[in-house]
Structures are given as structure tokens and as C-alpha cells.
């Protein structure tokens, strides 16, 4: 029930969802674009791990860094070739483009690799547990929490103390004004896509760490989680994304404990009932943003 | 320094500028006057690259800038303080100022500009770590102007800096503009407060429905406006 194991597992899941939501909201904050190709970045991370663990003797840590890099470069590349050309047109054009990119990447994986699941070899650490205060806690969950803390600290420092980070936050407040001050739109947007890709890459390590396999459609569930978490937390704020991720994880974990076994397969449905209730009470999400809505490319 | 030649601009089907020609020389303080909807803000937005003219040319120090993006225009040394101020509410005062200096990479210059800005706006020094959104209207206006000055602009464009401010603050803002002018900052000013503006500017353009109607020195403008007896905007405003 609600014991230490439950708490650590929930925090771990929340950490994963928080990073997931952050990657989606950092682009939304600036472009007002929900990037539906976000899930495919996780797929890219997964396939990078699959290909490298099979074909190279590289240590796992190096491989995971390369997986994050692959997700980041894919994110930057999609921005450059797909989103940038339609950015000045309309938000709808960008939205449709994101669906197109998503489909393209998925079909690319289907064609080049296989529609079937591919096993990703994980280090021993991912399968072992450690005893903490009398309960067994998987190392994977502890690693997720530690990675999330490190990521949040680094991201906060970037956004607080570097001019580029300040420019990113300014662009989320008012993009046009940021450009009037001389900050190039492309720099801001590329940085946002890079951060988004890094988040997806980090998440891919732990997401795939749970199933130890990767499929072309593996991106859909995390995209949905990220989307719902940001809606709960508030689409306009990075804090909201983190809060949303943890709230989502808490609700889903509690449902896992308290729902009778015969209703367990409807866990997601119950989850969305909660989401609807939250949105009825606070339509703007849990964390409110002071700034007005505006978009400009 | 700045030369607009028969500039046309429109929002979709609505024509906002119908061929305006404006000149601003180095060190000059020039005003654009006129009623709401005359096209004053559009003119500034077009110069700043936020809007692109579909006809006509804009030269800045001999270089054509029509069609350039806002960030490219900013790099050339043109700074716009838009109507409504547009400070970044979630950023601290210091962060707002830091971004103002984005086009300036040197640390020494940044420090010097910061000192100068504190000299002009002592209140900002006290509020340095506060989010911009928590400042009062007058303080936000000061921050917006300070942020623009952080880039050492060669041309400063102010869009209705006195709008929505208490009378005492309006005085302060006009004094400040006059002071910046004395420091040889080139300024293009858009204002509704015609009387106060004519007291401090070198020259002014009177706009109406996207056209320049009258131009000249304040004396010339007053004379012509008297003769032709136009404009509600030209009458002394009750609050000034």
C-alpha cells in the first residue's frame, strides 16, 4: 500500500513524466506549438541504443549519451527542415507538419528496421534492486530520480544565469519584443528544440529501460503522458510541466493501489476522469502564468 | 540617418500607411503626431522590422532595411520601445536590462550602460531583483526605456511613452526625453500629448489616415495648424 516503496516508485515515475512534459512545454511556451513528433524522438533514442548495443562494444554510459545526442540532433533537424519553412505561415501549418514529421519518422523506422519490437540490452544495474529501510527499491527508479534532479538543476541554471536562457524565458513572455531587442528568432527556437530533444533522449533511456525493447510506435504513450501532464500543470509554465508530471504520476500510482483488480484495465479511463475534474476546477492548469498569449515566428 | 521614402504598409486588406516619407537626421528629436489610427505605431513597427512594407524604401545610414527581420534591424542600432511597454513580466528588472544589451557583447560596456541607466532611473537600481511584472506602470515605462538604452541605440523610437501615466510621471518622461536629446541620442517619438511634445522636439510630422499631412518645426506646425484649423489632436488637452 502507501509505503516507502510506493513513495519512491511514484517519485520516480513523476520524475520521468516531469522531464517528459518539460520537453514538450519548452517548445509550446515559445511557438504555441504542440509538437506531435515529440514521441518519435524517444523512439530515435531507443533505436540508437538498440543499434549501438548490438553493433559496438561501447560502454552503456557512452551509448546512453549518444542516444540523447541522437534525439537532440533529430529534434534540431526536424526544426530546420520541417518547422522553420512553415513557421511564418500559421500555427495550423506547424501543427499539421508535426503530425507529418511524426508519421515520417515512424514509417522510417518501420522500413529501415522492423515493425517488430527490438530488444535493447540494458546494464545489469537496471535489473537489480537495493534494500532501503527494509524495502527493495529498483536501481532504475533511483537513477531516474537522480537524473531528474540533475536535469532540473542544470536546466534552471541555464535559464537563470545564461543570456540565452534569459532570452528563452523572455521569448515565452513575448517573442516579438525579444526579437526587437536583437535576439534572433532562429537561435531561440533552435535552443528550445535542442532542449526538447535532450529531454526526450534522457526519457528514452528510462522509458525503454522498463520494457527493454523498442518499437516504431513506442513514442505514442509518452507523448500522451507529456501532453496530459502539461495540460494538468498549465501549458504556459515550465514549473507547471514539472508539477503536472508529478501529479499525473501520483494519480496513476494511487489508482494502481486502490482500484479493484477487475477495474484495473480501465485505469487510464479513471485517470482521465481526474484530469477532467482538474480542468473543470482550474481550466488554466495548476500553475498559472501571468503573461498574455501571443505567438510569432 | 533615417529616411523613409513613400512607404506603404498594410494589415491584410487594411491599408495602414499610404506612402509616407520621413527623415530623421543625426542627433535630432522628431515626433510623429496624429489621432488614433493615423498610422504612427505602424510606422515605427515598419521601421523596426516587425512589419514589412509592401512598397517604398527605408534607408538607415544609407543601408536599405525594409524587409529585414526585427533582430537584424536591432543589430544596426535601432531600438523600439513599443506602445504598452512590453517589458518581460516574469523576468527580473536585471534580466530585462541584460536582454536589452543583447546586441552588445562587451562586459565593460554593459557595466557602463548599467551605471548610466541607474543614473537616469534610480528606482530601477532598488528594484533590480524584482520581477518586471511587479513594477508600477511608471516604473515599467522607465524599465522599457532603460532596456532600450542598454543597447546604446543610434536611433531610439518611443511609442507613446506617456500613455496611461499619472500627470507627475508624464512630466518626468518628457523631461527624460529632453535630457536624452541633450545627450545627442537620435529619437523618433510618437505621442498623443501634442502640446508637450511640440515643446521639446526639433521637428514633427502630423499624420492622418496613413498619410503625412503637415511637417515642420513646432512653430511652423502651430502656424499651419492654426490656419487650417484642424485636428482634435492639435487642441490643448484638458489634462495638460
CB B151 within 8 A of CB B117: no
- CB-closest option in B48, B74, B91 to A170: B91
pLDDT digits 0-9 by tens, A38-47? 999 999 999 9
State the pLDDT at residue B163.
87
Q: CA B16, CA B28: separation in Å to the nearest integer?
A: 26
Q: CA A52, CA B53: separation in Å to the nearest integer?
A: 53
Band of the pLDDT at B238, cuts 50, 70, 90?
A: very low
Band of the pLDDT at A27, cuts 50, 70, 90?
A: very high
- Cell matching residue A108: 522510417
Contact B91 A169 (CB under 8 A): yes
Chain B CB contacts of A290 below 8 Å: 89-90, 133
Closest residue in A to B84 (Cα–Cα): A177
Band of the pLDDT at A1, cuts 50, 70, 90?
A: low
Instruction: For chain A, give every domain's residue range.
Output: 4-218
A173 close to B (CB below 8 A): yes
What residues 83-112 of chain B have any CB closer than 8 A to a CB of chain A? 86, 88-91, 95-96, 98-100, 102-103
State the pLDDT at residue A293.
41
Alpha carbon B238 to chain centroid, angstroms: 24
B238 versus A37: the higher-pLDDT residue is A37
In this prediction, residues B67-86 reach a mean pLDDT of 93
Chain B CB contacts of A156 below 8 Å: none
State the pLDDT at residue A108.
95
pLDDT digits 0-9 by tens, B105-153? 888 999 999 999 999 899 999 999 999 999 998 899 999 999 999 999 9
Q: CA B45, CA B17: separation in Å to the nearest integer?
A: 11
A294 versus B137: the higher-pLDDT residue is B137
- Cell matching residue B141: 515605462
In this prediction, residues A274-292 reach a mean pLDDT of 79
A191 close to B (CB below 8 A): no
pLDDT exceeds 60 at position B235: no
State the pLDDT at residue B234.
47
Q: Within 10 Å of residue B110's Cβ, how many Cβ atoms?
A: 16
- CB-closest option in B50, B75, B98 to A163: B98
Instruction: Give the best residue of B50, B51, B52, B70 to mutate against chain A (max A CB count within 10 A).
Output: B70
CB B217 within 8 A of CB B203: yes
pLDDT exceeds 70 at position B233: no
State the pLDDT at residue B193.
84
pLDDT digits 0-9 by tens, B148-185? 999 999 999 999 998 888 888 888 889 999 999 998 89
Band of the pLDDT at B225, cuts 50, 70, 90?
A: low
State the pLDDT at residue A200.
98
Q: CA A219, CA A18: separation in Å to the nearest integer?
A: 16
Band of the pLDDT at B237, cuts 50, 70, 90?
A: very low
Contact A290 B102 (CB under 8 A): no
Q: How many CA atoms lie within 13 A of B215 on its CB side?
A: 13
State the pLDDT at residue B221.
86
pLDDT exceeds 50 at position A2: yes
In this prediction, residues A45-73 reach a mean pLDDT of 93
pLDDT digits 0-9 by tens, B15-64? 899 999 999 999 999 999 988 888 999 999 999 999 999 899 999 999 99
State the pLDDT at residue A122.
85
Closest residue in B to A294 (Cα–Cα): B86
CB A170 within 8 A of CB B99: yes
Please state, in angstroms and as integers, the Cα–Cα distance from residue A253 to each residue in A53, A134, A220, following that order.
Answer: 32, 21, 20
Q: At what angle are helices A220-233 and A267-281 packed, to 10 degrees?
A: 30
In this prediction, residues B78-107 reach a mean pLDDT of 93
Q: Tell me what ipTM this predicted complex has.
A: 0.90
Q: CA A23, CA A241: separation in Å to the nearest integer?
A: 9
Q: CA B100, CA A180: separation in Å to the nearest integer?
A: 9
Residue with cell 496624429: B34
> Of all helices (H) and strands (E), which one includes residue B104?
none
State the pLDDT at residue B226.
54
Band of the pLDDT at B91, cuts 50, 70, 90?
A: very high
CB B42 within 8 A of CB B216: no
Closest residue in B to A179 (Cα–Cα): B71
B120 close to A (CB below 8 A): no
CB A125 within 8 A of CB A139: yes
A179 close to B (CB below 8 A): yes
Which distant-in-sequence residues (6+ apart) come within 8 Å of B2 by Cβ?
Answer: B22, B23, B24, B47, B58, B59, B60, B155, B186, B188
Q: CA A168, CA A173: separation in Å to the nearest integer?
A: 9
Contact B88 A173 (CB under 8 A): yes
Closest residue in B to A167 (Cα–Cα): B99
CB A73 within 8 A of CB A135: no
> Of all helices (H) and strands (E), which one includes residue B175?
helix B167-182
Contact B74 A291 (CB under 8 A): no
Q: CA B82, CA B159: separation in Å to the nearest integer?
A: 5
> Of all helices (H) and strands (E), which one includes residue B15?
strand B14-24
pLDDT exceeds 90 at position A142: yes
Which distant-in-sequence residues (6+ apart) come within 8 Å of A88 by Cβ?
Answer: A297
A176 close to B (CB below 8 A): yes
Q: What angle do CA B99, B100, B102 make, to 5 degrees?
A: 60
B129 close to A (CB below 8 A): no
Band of the pLDDT at B236, cuts 50, 70, 90?
A: very low
Most confident of A87-91, A209-213, B150-154: B150-154
Amino acid at each position: 500500500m502507501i509505503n516507502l516503496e510506493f513513495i519512491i516508485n511514484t517519485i520516480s515515475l513523476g520524475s520521468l513524466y516531469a522531464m517528459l512534459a518539460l520537453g514538450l512545454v519548452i517548445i509550446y511556451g515559445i511557438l504555441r506549438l504542440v509538437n506531435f513528433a515529440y514521441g518519435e524522438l524517444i523512439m530515435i533514442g531507443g533505436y540508437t541504443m538498440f543499434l549501438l548495443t548490438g553493433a559496438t562494444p561501447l560502454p552503456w554510459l557512452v551509448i546512453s549519451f549518444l542516444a540523447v545526442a541522437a534525439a537532440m540532433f533529430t529534434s534540431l533537424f526536424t526544426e530546420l527542415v520541417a518547422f522553420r519553412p512553415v513557421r511564418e505561415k500559421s500555427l495550423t501549418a506547424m501543427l499539421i507538419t508535426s503530425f507529418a514529421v511524426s508519421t515520417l519518422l515512424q514509417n522510417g523506422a518501420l522500413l529501415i528496421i522492423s515493425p517488430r519490437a527490438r530488444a535493447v540490452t540494458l546494464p545489469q544495474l537496471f535489473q537489480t534492486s537495493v534494500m532501503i529501510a527494509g524495502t527493495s527499491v529498483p536501481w532504475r527508479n533511483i537513477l531516474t530520480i537522480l537524473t531528474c534532479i540533475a536535469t532540473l538543476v542544470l536546466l534552471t541554471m541555464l535559464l537563470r544565469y545564461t543570456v540565452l536562457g534569459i532570452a528563452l524565458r523572455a521569448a515565452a513572455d513575448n517573442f516579438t519584443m525579444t526579437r526587437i531587442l536583437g535576439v534572433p528568432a532562429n537561435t531561440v527556437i533552435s535552443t528550445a528544440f535542442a532542449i526538447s530533444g535532450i529531454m526526450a533522449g534522457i526519457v528514452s533511456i528510462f522509458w525503454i529501460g522498463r520494457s527493454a525493447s523498442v518499437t516504431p510506435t513506442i513514442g505514442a504513450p509518452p507523448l500522451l503522458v507529456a501532453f496530459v501532464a502539461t495540460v494538468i500543470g498549465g501549458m504556459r509554465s515550465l514549473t507547471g510541466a514539472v508539477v503536472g508530471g508529478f501529479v499525473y504520476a501520483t494519480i496513476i500510482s494511487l489508482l494502481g493501489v486502490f482500484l479493484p483488480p477487475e477495474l484495473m484495465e480501465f485505469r487510464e479511463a479513471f485517470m482521465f476522469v481526474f484530469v477532467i475534474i482538474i480542468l473543470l476546477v482550474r481550466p488554466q492548469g495548476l500553475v498559472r502564468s501571468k503573461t498574455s498569449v501571443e505567438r510569432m515566428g | 540617418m533615417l529616411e523613409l521614402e513613400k512607404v506603404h504598409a498594410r494589415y491584410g486588406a487594411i491599408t495602414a500607411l499610404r506612402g509616407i516619407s520621413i527623415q530623421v537626421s543625426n542627433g535630432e528629436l522628431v515626433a510623429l503626431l496624429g489621432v488614433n489610427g493615423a498610422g504612427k505605431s505602424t510606422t515605427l513597427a515598419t521601421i523596426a522590422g516587425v512589419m514589412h512594407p509592401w512598397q517604398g524604401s527605408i534607408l538607415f545610414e544609407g543601408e536599405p532595411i525594409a524587409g529585414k527581420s526585427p533582430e537584424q534591424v536591432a543589430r544596426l542600432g535601432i531600438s523600439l520601445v513599443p506602445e504598452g511597454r512590453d517589458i518581460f513580466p516574469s523576468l527580473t528588472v536585471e534580466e530585462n536590462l541584460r536582454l536589452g544589451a543583447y546586441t552588445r557583447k562587451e562586459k565593460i560596456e554593459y557595466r557602463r550602460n548599467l551605471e548610466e541607466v541607474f543614473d537616469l532611473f534610480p528606482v530601477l537600481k532598488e528594484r533590480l531583483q524584482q520581477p518586471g511584472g511587479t513594477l508600477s506602470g511608471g516604473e515599467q515605462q522607465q524599465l522599457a526605456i532603460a532596456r532600450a538604452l542598454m543597447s546604446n541605440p543610434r536611433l531610439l523610437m518611443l511609442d507613446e511613452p506617456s500613455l496611461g501615466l499619472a500627470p507627475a510621471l508624464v512630466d518626468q518622461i518628457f523631461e527624460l526625453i529632453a535630457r536624452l536629446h541633450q545627450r545627442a541620442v537620435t529619437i523618433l517619438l510618437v505621442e498623443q500629448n501634442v502640446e508637450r511634445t511640440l515643446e521639446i522636439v526639433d521637428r514633427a510630422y502630423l499624420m492622418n489616415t496613413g498619410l503625412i499631412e503637415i511637417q515642420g518645426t513646432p512653430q511652423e506646425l502651430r502656424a499651419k495648424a492654426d490656419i487650417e484649423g484642424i485636428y482634435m489632436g492639435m487642441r490643448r488637452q484638458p489634462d495638460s
